[in-house]
Amino acid sequence: MDPFTWLLLAIALTIAFYMAWNIGANDVANSMGTSVGSGALTLKNAIIVAAIFEFLGAVLLGAHVTDTVRKGIVDPLAFTGNEFNFVYGMMAALLAAAIWITVATFYGYPISTSQSIVGGVAGFGFAAIALGQVSSSTVHLEVLGKIVASWIISPLVGALLAYIMFMVVKKLILDKADPVRATKKVVPFLVFFVFLVIIAAVLIKAPKGSIIYGITPEMSIGTALIIALMAFIIGYLYLFKFKPKRARSDMEKYGHVEYIFVYLQIITACAVAFAHGSNDVANSIGPVAAIYSTLISGAIETQTVVPLGLLVLGGVGIVIGLSTWGYKVIKTIGEKIAEITPTRGFSAEFGAALTILACSFMKLPVSTSQVLVGAVIGVGFARGLSAIDFKVVRNIIITWVITIPVAALTAIGIYLGIMYFV
């Protein structure tokens, strides 16, 4: 490969790494904030959990959404013969997304990395069409439509799942006169359920090229059942030996319940980190995967799997972002939402994790922060929180409307600029 190609690749990888860093510095904090705020995880433990599970999620499951970003929105095959335009375009998209994420981070706008990268890639596609380089069917509008729809639906689904889970906790535990006893009976089943659903889903829907790919559905469910059963037994034994001090007041009773739920929340915190890694790594790696395979092979490739090395790059970027800056954000968020308790945190994280995982399975890049906001609101609707501010919802709706145009226009601008100079 000639030096120019190397230079392009190096630039692309750098920007991609920066995007991953930004994700680690910001979005991860959103996922871990509820666990730190409730006290389920100390800051240190949150960083450890996030680092491990974000990385795992990115590497084991990240290829699904990465596929969408690198070849689902804009059809790479349309650029056969025009490979460099494709590379420039993807770089424009990546750069546009990086710019807007930096601006949004500085001003605190709740724009998501997923939204900006999707906008950037779409913008490049539209620019190429406008310049007459490719046909108008190059941009898969139906995919774009599905993605935007998922941005609107995913927080709602997150809200619904969180609501249901919290109602389960409320009816089976909080409603009872002896909530501690109810907790000891119900929690092992909750543990079992959470483990089963998540592990089975992850194993069944592992993307091609992933280390865990190729396991038959029967074996997936079987493995999940075994692990879930072990978790059930461990949980049951631990709770069996849990004999708290005689609660003198109601608040002490509920304190015991919350204490037990800390463990559940730790489990869901891992799940959220895993889900987040699987969905957001694509925002940094997606375009670069397209660039990489095109430059290395010299031709447009659509059938290859996402190179593991790139997923690892993304995962590492996220972890580094988390450990160099993200922990400060987690601390700040944890302090600001200290009213949340483990029962609520668990329900919200469960709803968010399942929703985000489902979106990853469906190859849809969604905003994990917005899903989490939806989940928290879901718990609020179940009367689980003392006060919820709906202003955030309005800001989120605004992002749905303006992010694509803004990111797209920037990408178009950059792409046109590159076209002019090269």
Partner 1 sequence: MAKKDNPLKPDKKAEHFRAPVTGIFRRSPFEGLLDHASKVRECIKCLSPAVEYFCDGKYDKMDDMVKKISELEREADQIKGNLRAHLPRFIFLPVKRGDFLMLLREEDAILDYAEDVANLMTMRHTQVPKEIKKELLEHTKKVVETAEAFENAVVNIKDLLETSFGKSEREQTKRMIHRVHRKEWEADQVEARLSRKLFNSKELEPISVIHLLKIVDRMDQIANHAENAGDWLRAMLAR
Question: Which residues bind to partner 1, rule: CB under 8 A?
Answer: 25-27, 29-30, 33-34, 104-112, 166, 170, 174-177, 179, 250-251, 254, 328-329, 331-333, 336-337, 339-341, 369-370, 372-373, 376-377, 380, 382-392, 394-396
- Report how far apart, in Å, the C-alpha atoms of 50 and of each of 17, 124, 376 are: 18, 33, 20
Q: Minimum CB separation from partner 1 for residue 195, in Å? A: 25
Q: How far is the CB of 26 from partner 1 (least distance, A)?
A: 5
DSSP state of 132: T
CB of 283 to partner 1, least distance (A): 13
Q: Which is nearer to partner 1, 67 or 280 (CB)?
A: 280
Closest residue by Cα to residue 210 from 42, 346, 105, 57: 57
Alpha-helical runs (H) found in 205-341: 217-240, 250-297, 308-321, 327-336
Looking at beta carbons only, is 38 or 220 nearer to partner 1?
A: 38
* C-alpha 5: how far from chain center: 32
For 250, other C-beta atoms within 10 Å of its C-beta total 10
> Nearest to residue 257, comparing CAs of 193, 335, 178?
178
How many angstroms separate the CA atoms of 294 and 13, rounded? Answer: 14
Nearer to partner 1, 245 or 394 (CB): 394
Q: Is 19 helix (H, G, I), strand (E, B) or coil?
A: helix
CB atoms within 10 A of CB 357: 24
Q: Which is nearer to partner 1, 116 or 210 (CB)?
A: 116
Half-sphere exposure of 71 (CA within 13 A, CB side): 20
Q: Which is nearer to partner 1, 316 or 377 (CB)?
A: 377
C-alpha to C-alpha distance for 97 and 104, rounded to whole angstroms: 10
- What single-letter DSSP state applies at residue 247? P
Assigned token pair, 188: 């092992």
Q: Which is nearer to partner 1, 181 or 208 (CB)?
A: 181
CA distances from 74 to 8, 175, 371, 388 (A): 20, 52, 25, 39
Query: In this complex, which beta carbon is closest to partner 1, that of residue 5 or of residue 102?
Result: 102
CB closer to partner 1, 13 vs 402:
402
As measured in angstroms, the least distance from the Cβ of 101 to partner 1 is 8
3 state DSSP class of 350 = helix
User: 321-339 as b/e, with b when 16 or more CB fall inside 10 Å?
Assistant: bbeebbbebbeebbeebee
* Least Å from the CB of residue 364 to partner 1: 19
Kind plus residue range of the DSSP H or E element containing 21: helix 3-38
| Minimum distance from residue 166 beta carbon to partner 1 (Å) | 7
Q: Which is nearer to partner 1, 202 or 385 (CB)?
A: 385
Q: Which two tokens stand for residue 214?
A: 């190729």
Shortest spacing between CB 262 and partner 1, in angstroms: 15
Shortest Cβ 174–partner 1 spacing (Å)? 4
Name the DSSP letter for residue 69: I
State the minimum distance, in angstroms, from the CB of residue 268 to partner 1: 15
